[in-house]
Amino acid sequence: ELSKCSKSPSFPRNRLKASREVEPVDLPNCHLVRGVESGSEDIDILPSGLAFLSVGLKVPGIQCFAPEKPGGILLLDLNQDKPRALELRVSRGFDLTSFNPHGISTFIDEDGAVYLFVANHPEFKSTVEIFRFEEEDNSLLHLKTVRHELLPSVNDVVAVGPEHFYATNSHYFSDLFLKYLEVYLNLRWTNVIYYSPEGVRVVADGFDSANGITMSPDEKYVYVADSFAHEIHVMEKHANRSLTQVKVLHLDTVVDNLSIDPSTGDLWVGCHPNCLKLIIYDASNPPASEVLRIQNVLSEAPAVTTVYANNGSVLQGSTVASVYGGQLLIGTLFHRALQCQL
């Protein structure tokens, strides 16, 4: 999606990190996840170790290894040894043929019910789908489709209630040509919205390309990735759900999705070291992968570590990194998924 790159040849190369090459950083005991062949753009892991993967995202102008196959949600049980990802069935009445899932987020209700929120692009439009996870038969019950003029180009969501969420718009416009134009002109019109059944409003704006979004374990802070600006914004969350900026972390890479380690509060970031390679795909020189871990995010001096980096020979175009029980799960825009021991 254009939230990550633009095809314009005169698009500023520094925003794409177009000349950057990664120094490899390997982890022991990594293997590609069975059952993931056409991307795993976002990942959300339940406290039980069940991981949801958003797969098969199709984006105009971006490489796709399964163009005819609709997207889906896969389930991976990280308590198993080298588990296989299995596609979840979706309840009747939901249009699976146009399912094009992007960012995802889970919410666990007081009664233990698990809700899955999915940014969806049916026919390249924008909706947020709300499902309830039925664990006993590995299925998703579709509850609601959210469409709104303040959701023109939804990229990612973080759920804060059974029908309540924050979402990023990675573009101001929904029209494809105007999307190219706004990225090229660097309008910084992208934003974060808050949705509840009672109302929808913009709670933060002025981003170059708002992308991944997540929340601190104590739910006091919201973190927003601004891809082309190479930044992560730390926002304080208030009782009325409004957000105010606390600080900005500046990084040397195109940041995509964000995940939180619930036990430490560390931020895990899927990154594109060189975004140009995502757009102009060359199988002999594929897009690289990079995972950052940010410790002590709220302190004066957060510690940023490159935990994994690969030139694309193993994993192409990383978008997300999530952790559970000493394991790291890395997802990609259109390639495979990688499971590693930390």
Tens-place pLDDT, residues 90-106: 999 999 999 999 999 99
For the chain, what is the mean pLDDT? 92
Q: Tell me which H or E stretch contains 195.
A: strand 190-196
Cα angle, residue 147 at apex, residues 142 and 152 outer, rounded to 5°: 130
Distance CA 143, CA 140 (A): 9
Q: Do residues 155 and 121 lie in contact, with contact meaning Cβ atoms separated by under 8 Å? A: no
What is the average per-residue pLDDT within 292-303? 97
Amino acid letter, 41? E
Give pLDDT tens digits for 2-16.
444 443 334 567 777
Distance CA 161, CA 209 (A): 25
pLDDT of residue 7: 38
Question: What are the DSSP calls for 23-79, one per residue?
Answer: PPB--SS-EEPBT--S---EEEE-TTSEEEEEE----TTS--S-TTS--EEEEEETT
**86: number of Cβ within 10 Å:** 13
pLDDT > 90 in the chain, percent: 82
Confidence of residue 147 (pLDDT cuts 50, 70, 90): very high
State yes or no: 41 annotated in a binding site: yes
Confidence of residue 266 (pLDDT cuts 50, 70, 90): very high
Q: Tell me which H or E stretch contains 145.
A: strand 139-146
Residues with a catalytic annotation lie at: 102
Amino acid letter, 268? W
Sign of the Cα torsion 264, 55, 60, 273 reads: positive
Residue carrying the six token digits 């163009």: 67
Give pLDDT tens digits for 171-229.
655 666 666 666 666 667 689 999 999 999 999 999 999 999 999 999 999 999 999 89
State yes or no: 104 annotated in a binding site: yes
Give pLDDT tens digits for 102-139.
999 999 999 999 999 999 999 999 999 999 999 999 99
What the chain holds in terms of domains, given with CATH numbers, is 41-265 (2.120.10.30)
pLDDT of residue 173: 56
Alpha helices for 127-265 (secondary structure H)? 176-185
pLDDT of residue 6: 40
pLDDT of residue 174: 64
State yes or no: 29 annotated in a binding site: no
Distance CA 172, CA 174 (A): 7
Distance CA 61, CA 8 (A): 12
What is the average per-residue pLDDT within 152-171? 94
pTM above 0.75, yes or no: yes
State yes or no: 186 annotated in a binding site: no
What is the average per-residue pLDDT within 315-333? 97
Q: Tell whether the model's pLDDT for residue 277 goes beyond 70.
A: yes
- 161-165, 206-210, 255-259: range with lowest mean pLDDT: 206-210
pLDDT > 70 in the chain, percent: 91
Residue carrying the six token digits 């690289």: 288
**126: number of Cβ within 10 Å:** 23
pLDDT of residue 186: 66
Q: Tell whether the model's pLDDT for residue 275 goes beyond 50.
A: yes
**13: number of Cβ within 10 Å:** 14
State yes or no: 205 annotated in a binding site: no
State yes or no: 256 annotated in a binding site: yes
pLDDT of residue 16: 78
pLDDT of residue 321: 98
What is the average per-residue pLDDT within 280-289? 95
pLDDT of residue 178: 63
